[in-house]
Structure 1
C-alpha cells in the first residue's frame, strides 16, 4: 500500500474535479471499509455508486499502480460530455514512463492489437499484445491499439539500464501502455505484472499520467502535474543519468515534447514502427 496517501486536487469546478492520483491506490471500491481509494480521500466512500447522495462519475480510469491526472465528473451531463470526447478520441493524454533497457529509437508508433491474455482469461487481470512472435490463440478478442512514444533520456537505475519515455495513447485499451512497452522489450520499471512477477525491487511502477487535454466546448481543460519521478528521493537516489535527448522536467518543456508526438511524423529522427 502506498504511504503517499494524499490526493492532490489539480482543478475543480461545478462540473469537474481533476486530481493527481497517487500510485498504488484504487479509484474506488465496493468494500465500505477500504480506505485506500481516491473516493475515500476526496468524497464519501460510496460516491462512485448511483445510490450515493453525491455520486461521482469516472470518465477515465487509471490502474492501481499508475499515478497521475484523473478527471472525475460531478454530474451525469458533464460525464456524458467528457465521455463523448474520450469515445471520439478527441482527448490527448501524455504519460511519463521509465522503462527497462536503453531505447534505440527516438520516435515510435506501436500498433499491436491488444486483447485478453488467454492464461488469465478467467480473471482478466492481464492483457496481451498481438505481435508477430505471439501465437494468436494467446490473445483473446484483440482490438486495435495505438501508442506513440518518444525517448527523452537514458541512464541507469540501480546500475541497470533504463530510459525515460513520453507515451501518448491514441486508443484507450486496458493496460495498453504497459502491454505495448512490454511487447517491444521495454517493460515499465516496477511493473510486477508484465515483468512476469520479476520486477519487484522498485518501490513503485514508474508510469505517471502527466497531462490531460480535454477540449470541452464550455470548459476546455489542459491539466498537468509536476514531474513525478526525479522529485521522488527514492528514485533520485538510485538514478544515474547518461544522456538527455530532450528537456522535459518543467511544464513548458513538457508541453514542447508533447507537440512532437502530436505530429503524425517527425523528419530527421530515428523512427520505428511496431506493427503486425
Structure 2
C-alpha cells in the first residue's frame, strides 16, 4: 500500500547520487526505499553516500543529534528496498519488540545464479562467522551437511519461493521470493549461496568472482509491521525489470508464479506464508533431524 507523506524530513540535499524515496511517514516512523550501494549511516562526517545524509543530517543516527533517528532494522550496503526508521526512542522500542518476537513479515525479491529446481524450500542452516574473517566479522557462513567451519553459529531460517527462471545475458538465473523468519547477518545471501544459487552480483559470497553485474540483485520489497497504533504494510514497486539495464539483458524461460504487479506480488507472499502448499516441489534444507 502506498501512502502520502508529510515534509518533516525534507529530502533536498546538495549531494545527488541516488534518490532516497519516502514510502511512508507519520509522527513516529519514516519508511524509505533505500537505493542499492548506499550506506545507512556513517561516523565519517564527510561521507555523503548515506540514507541519513539524504533524509536528515549526517549525524542523525547519533543520540547527540538535534533530530536523532533510530534504525529498527538494517539493510546491507548492496541491498535495496524498504527500510524502517523510528523518530523517537519509544517508537523504536515498540517496533524493535516486534522484530525481536518475529511478529514482523519481511519479503525480498532476488535474482540468483542457476535454475532453481524446486518450487518452495525451507532453509534452516545455522549461520555464524566465517573463521577466516572472524576478527572483522565481514563474512558469514552457513552450517551445512558438507561444512561446519563456523564461529558462534545461530539458528537461522529462510523460506524460498521460485517465481521465474530465465537468462541474464547467457547466464542461467532464477527470480525468487525470500522470506527471512530469523534475522541473522547476511542470512539471505549466505543461505542462497549454501544452496549453490548465489545472488546475482554478490561479490562477497561469490568469492569475489561475480563482478560483471552493475548491482547485487537483492531487494527488500515488502515489510509488514503490526504496530498497535498504526499497523503498516509497506511495499515498493518491482525493482529489477523496470530498470532497462537489467531488462535489456533478461530473457524469460518459465514463469512459475506471477509477481510483477502489486496484486501478484501480494498473492506470491500469501503462498510463501503458508506452512504447506499442495502440488509443489518442496524441500527442507537442515542439518537437524
Tell whether the structures are fold-level matches, with TM greater than 0.5: yes
3-state SS of the aligned residue for 1:155?
strand
> Which stretches of structure 1, 4 residues or longer, exceed 6 Å deviation after superposition?
none
What's the CA shift string for 1:100-144, capped at 9, x where partnerless? 00000000000000000001011111000000111x3x2100000
Of residues 33, 40, 47, the one that matches 1:20 is: 33
**Alignment match, 1:269:** 280
Q: Does 1:242 align with 2:253?
A: yes
Distance 2:253 2:112 in 1: 15
Q: 2:89 aligns with which of 76, 81, 85?
A: 76
Asked if 1:187 is matched to 2:163, the reply is: no
**In structure 1, how many angstroms separate the alpha carbons of the residues matched to 2:21 and 2:275?**
34
In the alignment, the residues of structure 1 paired with residue 211 and residue 39 of structure 2 have an alpha-carbon distance, to the nearest angstrom, of 19
Separation of aligned partners in 2, 1:18 and 1:182:
29
Q: Distance in 2 between matches of 1:168 and 1:46?
A: 32
CA deviations 1:151-194 (Å, max 9, x no partner) are: 00000001100000000000000000000000000000000000
Q: Does 1:168 align with 2:179?
A: yes
CA distance in 2, matches of 1:246, 1:117: 35
CA drift at 1:29: 0.1
Q: What is the Cα-based RMSD across aligned positions, in Å?
A: 0.7
Of the three residues 125, 134, 139, the one matched with 2:150 is: 139
Q: Secondary structure at the match of 2:176?
A: strand
Aligned length: 272
Counterpart position of 1:86: 99
d(CA) in 2 for partners of 1:4, 1:149: 32
1:39, 1:48 within 8 Å by CA — same for their partners in 2? yes
Cα pair distance change 1:4/1:262, threshold 3 Å: farther
Instruction: Map 1:1-150; keep pairs closer than 5 Å.
Output: 5-134=18-147, 136=148, 138-150=149-161
User: C-alpha displacement at 1:12, in angstroms?
Assistant: 0.3
Tell me the SS of whatever aligns to 1:54. Answer: coil
Name the residue aligned to 1:210.
221
Task: Return the offset for 1:4.
Answer: 5.3
Q: Tell me, what secondary structure is at the counterpart of 2:135?
A: coil
**Further displaced range: 3-12 or 226-235:** 3-12
CA contact under 8 A between 1:4 and 1:22: conserved in structure 2? no
